[in-house]
Chain A
Amino acid sequence: MNHRLSFTLATLTSLSVLTPSVGHAAERAPALAALTYSGDQAALEAVDRDIIAAGRDTTRLAAVRDSLLAVLRHRDATFAARQAAAQRLGPVLAALPPGVRASDYRPLPAMLEDPRDCEAARLALDTAPGAVVDQMLLAALEKASGPHRASLLTSIGSRRTALAVPVLSRLAGDTDPVTALAAVRALGEIPTPEADAALKAATGATPAARAAARLRLLPGLPDARARTTLMEIEADASLPASARLAAFRQLLDRDTAAADTRILDALRGADWERKEVALEAITTSPIPARISLLAKGLSAWDGSTQVAVIGILARTGAAAAVPPIAAATRGTSPAVRSSALEALGSLPGTKEIVTLLLEAGAEETEVAKPARRSLARLNGADVSATILAAAESGRSALRAVALESLAARNLTEAIPLLVRCRTDADVAVRNAALSSLAEIAPSSALPDLIAWAQAAEDDTERTRSIRAVVNVILRDPDTKRRAQPLYAQLEAAKPETAERLLPALSRIGGEPAAACAARLANRPDPKLAAAAVAALARWSDASSLSALAGVTAEAAVPAVRESARAAALQTLEKTRDAWTTIRSEAIGRLLGATTDLAARRQLVAFLARANDETAAGLAAGLEGDAALGADAKYAAGAIAANRRGLPKARGNPANGAGNAVDGKTSSRWTVPTLGEEWLEIDYRQSRPFRRVTLDQTGRAADYPEKYSVHVTDDPAQPGAALVQGEGQRNRTVIELPAGTAGRYLIIRNLAERKDSSWSVCEVQLD
């Protein structure tokens, strides 16, 4: 049976405006009676439409009801049809006035007496209102046995049929364990003192099952009765601890007068399972009076209990919890101190608490971290003003903590104060101010920060000031102008000063920063120029390529030209993102400035990754070169294929095969390594192949167990494998024989590796 049997969203919602006549509903019966689980579901969908169309109209719903009962009465109705009709009848009956006699529900009373049909009938009757339904179930119960009887008992329980308690009471002692357990569970659904008494007296099922049933019905009982039952269960040593603990837990809610005393007793005691339950009760019911009581008693408990209670008190945000928790921060237990300091951040803040947190935050122990976290979120009338004052003056260690918390609290009004710290004599203060400035300083503070970085003598101060400069620049959405003050300062500075600021450029990244570095690299100072090239070599992407090509061609210092070329080759090797013409142009410039044959061959090889006209022109121009001709010809063939667009891929299994050739290593094709997987890539035209790399970035162990590679123009007849080998961690590099060419590349995994996957993030060609 498919989900259409239980209404489809699409069908039902789209058809909600249909209004078939009452007569239509009655005509459904013959068609629906023939329903099967695997056949045409149209008749059932029509019933679903009828129900929706009927809306709240009881006349029309009654027509649907009659139609569904007719299906159930149909002599040849399949079980699938009876089940589906009954399932829909349930909600319809729930919306209609109850029947007055059992015959109103014909044939459901008879169905209840049949073990198999009973399950279907229950789908219709469990939510149907009225005492008649209760009587029908009880009547059927008298004739049933075993699992059939348990089925009926389940309905009686779910309907909470109070008048069934005497019968259930009898059956709860039945010798048939299935019946006894079902009767006990049914009693547990009926929240009356009589049901509770029946369970207490019952002899069937296990004591644990009877206790669970009693605990289940208790919420519906009067307090006095419930308390008595709970105390009986709690005191019954024959029951499992979980049942007795549940009784203890419920008594805390039922017997509120004694609850606090019981909680305190549990917290003082050595029974940790009981203590766990008491702690959960405090979490659930943080009554103010209870919070005060707990706060007062805090210091009397063992450390573990204190830690737990402190955490719970913090969640309440209650002011009454502050004094004892503040006192707990001065204890000797690191665990208690840490939890208390952490908790204070969630409670109302005062000047005194700020001071306490500053002191703890300045400690060189593990309590410093929770203290600083609390300083970041502490809320109260004087809190921010107190922290600002502490940042302005006072003990150096406390000032440092206060200064660092300014950013964590986003106190932007403190920026002038933070900038003024540049002249402070204490390096700890200066470094703390820089940490905050890195997080919240605006662009207007950039000149001050650049000057700070230029003048910094302390290593930490220099690192932090450069970080602040970089962060401020990167936060500014004006990408064209945001770094101009830095570039201007770099180029105007003396070499040794400029060198200090250079690390900022690679962190900012992009072509303008690279151009600035290139200008420094072209200057005659060898140390500064070398440092500038080193910075360009650290670029995270290929946006430094043009600059490196320029330095290779123009740098005043020969050694700098060499290192720039090496950096350019390294950058080309490591960047496999989408090719751009800028990259081809850079290769052109590099070729023009390079005489070393090995380097020139490398550059031509990189052209094989290109897909633009500039690269094609470069390759074509070199085809006649005696030394580079073969490489250039290979590149030209590859470029021509690349220019046809991204290749197409299909795989076995098929899911996500395209991810292996989409130009992104962030997506992948992943399949179980069973030994029968393959990936077929169509490069849209025949092309040369030299080296294939299967990139498994981030999935180091997802290599093919044993691979074979085919290159062909006819994937239906790929011929013999060109190479075979074993996969490698991180990336599998496959060298192909010289002269290999074809339109299709097929890679197969030939061997199983249990509980493992084969992933290809990207298939890369060189």
Chain B
Amino acid sequence: MSHTLTRRAALARGLRGILAVGIAPQFVPARLLGKAAPSNRLNIGLVGNGLICSAHAGTLLGLTDDCRVVATCDVVRAKAEKMRDRIETSYGKSKDSGGRSGDVRIFATHEELVQRDDIDVVFVCTPDHWHAAVSAAAMRAGKDVYCEKPLTLTVREGRHLVDVARSHGRILQTGTQQRSNKSFRKAAEIVRNGWIGDIKVIRTRLGKFPEALPLPEEPVPAGFDYDRWLGPTPWRPYNEKRVKGDYGGGWRCFFEYGGRKNGDWGAHHFDIIQNALGMDGGGPVEFIPKGYEGCAYQTHIYANGVRVERDDDLAKSMIEFRGTKGTVWVSRDDFLETDPAGLAARPLRGEDLHLYASDHHHLDFFDCVRTRRHPIADVEVGHRTATICHLNVIAAKVGRPVRWDPAKEEIIDDPLAASLLDRPRRAGYTLL
């Protein structure tokens, strides 16, 4: 292993001098100890080695930050091996001698991976139904966590994760990386500073998944721990289409494993809306399903009357903020337009509200791991946004408006809907 003196080991030994570099990478030039000083290094374990993990691996392998993937883990052994091979090949190429680095280990379960002493950080890249259990296990084992969005499968899982993070002193970054995008931040700052007046309506486009069709049972492929893939969710017969990782469908179509588009794109766009409205510690008070008494859009409403409408035909942008004095349109690929024009380029004044500025979601996380500050998409932020996703799903399921108390985190006067705030878990796959 090339990282014989890990940061964790250095922490344990109390090498304060070395830590001076590790804890403030943005201020201290790496040259003081060399960029790859082992104590400055964050060792990473990747749990879930499919589609989204591949994107993270690409980012992590390209970072100049001193981090290193040392472990992979997937219910499909071949995926874990492929990810290991990619990482080792990449690290090997960076060596003068060429070839593979040979120091990435594969684990069959996340429980084994999080017990590794030399891992500082766990990336949770599983389907949604595993996010909470893996994140909680990692934090209980003393790791910090980057968890893909939406943070959870249920509202109750979210509060549990916040409690675990706080009670164990851990850092968790939710994978809602739009928060670390300049255009989304600027849109939120325009709204927060009142440049387009009072916000009345916000529209957002989430898109549509194909229907999840009934699936016949197929043989479980060799090397696939399907029971573990199902994890806490009810047993279902195996079918390749059920488990497929596909941004346009696959497991994302099934409510058993996520919130469909509410959990998928809603986790991003509702998150930006929460930020723009200054509601990171709270949330809406009512959720109305599309079609209820003629309601044209799935809608959630904040206590101050601001309505958020899901308009999947919204053409101009992913999110549209409409205020009494103007409109802001914002999308990915740095699309930001305003009416009146020019607001996007207007600098903030000293007395204006400046939002937490992160320009790179991974680096913000690593910075906070080293300094113990809460990252831009802290666990509470991720939980509150995921709650909006889940409550929109619940309102649609019960077919009526759901009233919500964001302070108590309870559904008001609707025990049937309230029972959907969590889901029964199969034996062996509890949160603890």
Q: Which of B217, B399, B430 is the one whose CB lies under 8 Å from A157?
A: B430
4 A-B pairs with least C-beta separation: A16-B399, A242-B142, A277-B169, A94-B419
11 A-B pairs in the complex with CB atoms less than 8 angstroms apart: A36-B214, A52-B400, A182-B427, A215-B167, A271-B14, A277-B168, A278-B169, A283-B374, A335-B20, A335-B27, A755-B82
Q: Is A344 an interface residue (CB 8 A)?
A: no
Contacts A90-B419, A219-B163 given; does A6 touch B342 at CB 8 Å: no
Q: Is A112 an interface residue (CB 8 A)?
A: no
Q: Is B140 an interface residue (CB 8 A)?
A: yes
Please tell me if the beta carbons of A304 and B20 are within 8 angstroms of each other in the complex: yes
Q: Which of B167, B347, B397, B426 is the one whose CB lies under 8 Å from A7?
A: B397
Residues of A within 8 A of B346 (CB): 410
Q: Is B324 an interface residue (CB 8 A)?
A: no
Whole-angstrom CA separation of A755 from B83 in the bound complex: 11
Contacts A83-B234, A272-B12, A409-B350 given; does A9 touch B20 at CB 8 Å: no
Contacts A16-B399, A37-B217, A335-B27 given; does A755 touch B425 at CB 8 Å: no
- What mask results when residues 409 to 448 of chain A are scored 1 for a CB within 8 Å of chain B, else 0? 1110000000000000000000000000001100000000
Residues 410-426 of B contacting A (Cβ, < 8 Å): 414-420, 422, 424-426
- What mask results when residues 114 to 132 of chain A are scored 1 for a CB within 8 Å of chain B, else 0? 0000011011001100000
Whole-angstrom CA separation of A182 from B427 in the bound complex: 8
For the complex formed, measure the closest distance between the CB of B359 and the CB atoms of chain A, giving whole angstroms.
13
Q: Is B28 an interface residue (CB 8 A)?
A: yes
For the complex formed, measure the closest distance between the CB of B432 and the CB atoms of chain A, giving whole angstroms.
5
Q: Which of A150, A155, A249 is the one whose CB lies under 8 Å from B428?
A: A150
Residues of A within 8 A of B221 (CB): none
Q: Which of A6, A123, A242, A475 is the one whose CB lies under 8 Å from B255?
A: A6
Whole-angstrom CA separation of A150 from B171 in the bound complex: 32
Please tell me if the beta carbons of A334 and B349 are within 8 angstroms of each other in the complex: no
Residues of A within 8 A of B417 (CB): 91
Whole-angstrom CA separation of A241 from B236 in the bound complex: 39
Which of A151, A280, A384 has the most chain B CB atoms inside 10 A of its CB?
Answer: A280
Q: Which of A155, A338, A383 is the one whose CB lies under 8 Å from B424?
A: A155
Residues 93-118 of A contacting B (Cβ, < 8 Å): 94-95
Residues of B within 8 A of A138 (CB): none
Q: Is A295 an interface residue (CB 8 A)?
A: no
Whole-angstrom CA separation of A193 from B424 in the bound complex: 26
Please tell me if the beta carbons of B372 and A276 are within 8 angstroms of each other in the complex: yes
Stretch at the interface among A306-314, A389-397, A669-677, A704-712: A306-314
The total number of A-B Cβ pairs within 8 Å is: 263
Stretch at the interface among B95-103, B126-134, B265-273, B284-292: B284-292
Please tell me if the beta carbons of B350 and A378 are within 8 angstroms of each other in the complex: yes
Please tell me if the beta carbons of B28 and A334 are within 8 angstroms of each other in the complex: yes
For the complex formed, measure the closest distance between the CB of A748 and the CB atoms of chain B, giving whole angstroms.
25
Please tell me if the beta carbons of B372 and A410 are within 8 angstroms of each other in the complex: no
Contacts A1-B236, A304-B20, A338-B27 given; does A91 touch B419 at CB 8 Å: yes
- What mask results when residues 512 to 531 of chain A are scored 1 for a CB within 8 Å of chain B, else 0? 00000000000000000000
Residues 470-484 of A contacting B (Cβ, < 8 Å): 475, 477
Please tell me if the beta carbons of B215 and A158 are within 8 angstroms of each other in the complex: no
Please tell me if the beta carbons of A2 and B419 are within 8 angstroms of each other in the complex: no
Task: Tell me the count of chain B residues lying within 8 A, CB to CB, of chain A.
Answer: 80
- What mask results when residues 254 to 291 of chain A are scored 1 for a CB within 8 Å of chain B, else 0? 00000000000000001111001111110110000000
Interfacial residues, chain B to chain A (CB-CB below 8 A): 10-12, 14, 16, 19-20, 22-24, 27-29, 82, 86, 140-142, 163, 166-171, 211-217, 234-237, 253-256, 260, 289-292, 341-342, 345-351, 354, 371-374, 393, 396-400, 414-420, 422, 424-428, 430, 432
Q: Is A87 an interface residue (CB 8 A)?
A: yes
Q: Which of B27, B167, B214, B432 is the one whose CB lies under 8 Å from A39?
A: B214
Whole-angstrom CA separation of A384 from B348 in the bound complex: 13
Nearest-CB residue, chain A, relative to B7: A272
Q: How large is the interface on A (under 10, 10 to 19, 20 to 34, 35 or more residues)?
A: 35 or more
Please tell me if the beta carbons of B24 and A335 are within 8 angstroms of each other in the complex: yes
Nearest-CB residue, chain A, relative to B23: A304
Please tell me if the beta carbons of A283 and B254 are within 8 angstroms of each other in the complex: no
Which of A12, A61, A270 has the most chain B CB atoms inside 10 A of its CB?
Answer: A12
Residues of B within 8 A of A727 (CB): none
Contacts A249-B167, A284-B166, A304-B24 given; does A151 touch B372 at CB 8 Å: no
For the complex formed, measure the closest distance between the CB of A72 and the CB atoms of chain B, giving whole angstroms.
15
Please tell me if the beta carbons of B140 and A246 are within 8 angstroms of each other in the complex: yes
Please tell me if the beta carbons of A13 and B414 are within 8 angstroms of each other in the complex: no
- What mask results when residues 289 to 307 of chain A are scored 1 for a CB within 8 Å of chain B, else 0? 0000000000000111001
Residues of B within 8 A of A8 (CB): 211
Please tell me if the beta carbons of B255 and A154 are within 8 angstroms of each other in the complex: no
Q: Which of A87, A273, A304 is the one whose CB lies under 8 Å from B234?
A: A87
Residues of A within 8 A of B399 (CB): 12-13, 15-16, 52
Please tell me if the beta carbons of B24 and A755 are within 8 angstroms of each other in the complex: no
For the complex formed, measure the closest distance between the CB of A246 and the CB atoms of chain B, giving whole angstroms.
4
Q: Is A595 an interface residue (CB 8 A)?
A: no
Residues of B within 8 A of A409 (CB): 347-350
Whole-angstrom CA separation of A710 from B292 in the bound complex: 56
Please tell me if the beta carbons of B418 and A94 are within 8 angstroms of each other in the complex: yes
Please tell me if the beta carbons of B27 and A411 are within 8 angstroms of each other in the complex: no
Whole-angstrom CA separation of A94 from B421 in the bound complex: 12
With contacts A2-B211, A91-B416 known, what are 16 further pairs, Cβ within 8 A?
Answer: A2-B215, A13-B289, A38-B216, A51-B398, A52-B399, A87-B234, A119-B426, A123-B234, A219-B163, A242-B140, A245-B142, A283-B373, A307-B20, A333-B20, A384-B351, A439-B347
Residues of B within 8 A of A368 (CB): none
For the complex formed, measure the closest distance between the CB of B348 and the CB atoms of chain A, giving whole angstroms.
7
Please tell me if the beta carbons of B16 and A38 are within 8 angstroms of each other in the complex: no
Whole-angstrom CA separation of A303 from B14 in the bound complex: 13
Residues 7-36 of A contacting B (Cβ, < 8 Å): 7-9, 12-16, 36
For the complex formed, measure the closest distance between the CB of A644 and the CB atoms of chain B, giving whole angstroms.
28
Residues of A within 8 A of B234 (CB): 83, 87, 119-120, 123
Nearest-CB residue, chain B, relative to A474: B345
Whole-angstrom CA separation of A52 from B236 in the bound complex: 25
Whole-angstrom CA separation of A153 from B427 in the bound complex: 8
Q: Which of B168, B291, B400 is the one whose CB lies under 8 Å from A55?
A: B400
Residues of B within 8 A of A185 (CB): 430, 432
Nearest-CB residue, chain B, relative to A242: B142
Residues of B within 8 A of A550 (CB): none
Whole-angstrom CA separation of A411 from B351 in the bound complex: 11
